[in-house]
Structure 1
Amino acid sequence: MTKQPPPDFLPLRNALADWAHVESEEVFAGRDAGIAPVLSITIPTYRRSDVLAEAVASALAQDLGQPFEVVIVDNDPESLGHEALLAAIPALAEGNVRYLRNRENIGMYGNINRCVEVARGAWISILHDDDMIDPDFARRTLAELTSPHARFDGLVSRKRLLDQREVRFTRGRIKGAIYRAREAYQFGGRGSRRIDARQLFWGCVVGNTVGFICRTADIRALGGFYPEEHPSCDYFFYARFAERWRLGESRQVLATIRVAVNSLTQKAQQLACLRQGYELQCAYAGSVLPRFWARLSPLVMARQVAVTSAFWRSGITKAEAEEAIGVAMPRDRPLALYLMRLALRGF
């Protein structure tokens, strides 16, 4: 079920072809690697052997009840990661598992796109090498996507945080109660809800692509993920997907996101995310959303700056944010913003 957004809204390009000249060699295949899978759980990796085994183990533990494959694509041309993985998880030798290694480092999103290219299943899920999925993730998600009365073409689950920083993020009792009340309102008693421009305008409300399943053909039709949109590639991907197919969010928590000190803890990366979020809002207003929504952007960005700074403890100042984003922002007013979202059905 495909619809066509306005031609000026996030034009497509074939990012899958960016590294077509670089080969990926298969350095390991399990005994069942010849079985045609319904689902491909793909894991792009680069020098993360300490956590990769946990991600792979969570993928192998799926109780799908149908054939699925696990495909690991290593972006380190010198890696012997398959040997360490086999030592840690001997069951790999018996499974529908393939371990590929790029002959050249093709960058993070080049490697994610390579996962999309080599997947053999009709459906695909991309699992980051430091995250995990629950054993019932694939079964529950595919059951909804393949139901005779399916409402969505792609479905993303909610995720829990595994915060491994010295000082962890906590919401507190009052904020936790507000979060739960808002969630109840969002889903209205249902197990899943539609996500479209009215939700995505306010931010990437569904997070990254861990816990997401869609048709492999649909990601390929979008041209994969665009490296030039880093560090907000997932956000732009969801925006493109939601304008062409039916994107849904499940209320079930079926994946785990690891939070640690990494590149996203750098203030420059956070400011880049904020700037790209503003650019996406500008793309939305006047194309797939009414033009007057653009007037809301400064208030939205003030809230995004406050949330980002609090979660990452980066201390982003108003002056730094305004310089990076290129727009003057008012004082952060969460209540006013929430009331606007309610009025515009943005939750």
Structure 2
Amino acid sequence: MSDLLKYENNFSKINHFDLKLSHGDLNYNKTPLVTIAIPTYKRANLLKQALDSALNQKGFSDYEVIVIDDENDPGNETETQKLIKKYNDPKLLYYRYEGKSTLGMAGAWNKCLEMARGKWYSMLHDDDLLKENFLDEMMQILNSNPNISFLKAQHDHIDERDLSDLNYEYRSGTVEKMFEKKVEKFSEIDYILLNPIGGPVGIILDREKAIKLGGFNEKTYPAIDYAFFTKYCLEYDTYYYHKNLCSYRIAQNISLKNGVLMNCAKIHYDIINDLMSKNIPRKIFFKKYPAYYYLKAAKHIKEFWGVEVTEEEIKFLEKDKNLSIFWMGTYGVFKRLWRIKKMIFSKYPVQEV
């Protein structure tokens, strides 16, 4: 049993005095309903696209956009600072971190949560994009369904990799297509079976509840988002809107380096073990599922991401690294039946907007 899902206050690790407001007016809208927060570090060219997508929302205007810049270069004007100066939108607030070291991923994400002033919170990576109707449609759902405190929109992909050497294509099964434009409630079983939320792009959640959970834990790197969303699901309901309202960018970056993706899969493996051990029926049925997930993840990492998986990275599975056809087939069928069952019997809080 790991400590990955236990409560930990991750805000106390940040020096609050090292973040300076360098652009924007806090008095323009003192109580925005929604905050879109963009953590960034040395990616001004991509940040511009993300920032434009956040500022140019249509049909909904009660929001702020905050940028938390983790690049500290005393005495020099950075490319990000030059970019921000070109904006004259009163919704935009730009903060620079001036500490002795960087905030890091978890620190920057937590600082975004702290500096946000909206009741509702959405984090946008500096290389991802929002469709112009993202806030309008998502807030219609949230405003008409007070039981929802976490809502994720479906995303498409901006794939900038060279795919010539990969044997993979994006595809969506018939069952998944039948969920289109519906809102699906996720349970703990969904978090055992897969990472149902994916990356944080396209999520709107209750900021106060996220803070009560202690924020993002650096110990769960590089699966910080999955660990946090799983923890959120254990305390509050999480929902998924099956409509494409945002874009997730896939590029050649640190995530594709050998070891990072498998480390992410290992965090998933540990969390699945935590979830399945909560009661005896789960322990019995899902006893081989962590190994099944990890082996499937290794195959996906090789085929989709083009990253080699070493024997050392699966060595810890010991006897389960050659999982029997029975277990592979059983879990494969169960996952498909689970999706069909949810499609047929789930009661959606809303239909399409």
> Per the shorter chain, which TM-score range?
0.7 to 0.9
Deviation of 1:170 (Å): 7.3
Conserved 8 A contact 1:152-1:246: yes
For 2:63, which of 60, 68, 73 is the aligned residue? Answer: 68
DSSP-derived class of the 1:235 partner? helix
| % same residue | 21
Equivalent in the alignment of 1:80: 78
Deviation of 1:30 (Å): 5.1
Deviations 1:191-228 (A, max 9, x none): 11011211111221221111000111011111110011
Conserved 8 A contact 1:133-1:254: yes
Where do 5+ consecutive residues of structure 1 fail to align? 1-7
**TM-score (structure 2 length as normaliser):** 0.85
Equivalent in the alignment of 1:128: 125
Conserved 8 A contact 2:84-2:94: no
- The verdict on how the C-alpha distance between 1:109 and 1:326 changes in structure 2, with shifts beyond 3 A counting, is farther
Q: Distance in 1 between matches of 2:317 and 2:13?
A: 28
Equivalent in the alignment of 2:153: 157
For 1:207, which of 198, 202, 211 is the aligned residue? Answer: 198
- The verdict on how the C-alpha distance between 1:72 and 1:38 changes in structure 2, with shifts beyond 3 A counting, is same
Deviation of 1:73 (Å): 0.6
Equivalent in the alignment of 2:221: 230
Conserved 8 A contact 2:68-2:97: yes
Amino acid at match of 2:103: I
Equivalent in the alignment of 1:4: none
Q: Distance in 2 between matches of 1:157 and 1:103?
A: 34
**How many corresponding residue pairs?**
330
- The verdict on how the C-alpha distance between 1:97 and 1:338 changes in structure 2, with shifts beyond 3 A counting, is same
Q: Distance in 2 between matches of 1:199 and 1:106?
A: 32
- The verdict on how the C-alpha distance between 1:182 and 1:320 changes in structure 2, with shifts beyond 3 A counting, is farther
Conserved 8 A contact 1:68-1:96: yes
Conserved 8 A contact 1:24-1:102: yes
Conserved 8 A contact 1:27-1:99: yes
Q: Distance in 1 between matches of 2:135 and 2:324?
A: 39
Deviation of 1:277 (Å): 1.1
Deviations 1:47-83 (A, max 9, x none): 0111111010000011242311000010112253454
Equivalent in the alignment of 1:254: 245
Deviation of 1:31 (Å): 8.8
Conserved 8 A contact 1:32-1:96: no
Moved over 4 A (4+): 168-172, 324-327, 331-336, 343-347
Deviation of 1:157 (Å): 0.8
Q: Distance in 1 between matches of 2:267 and 2:210?
A: 21
DSSP-derived class of the 2:272 partner? helix
Q: Distance in 2 between matches of 1:208 and 1:150?
A: 24
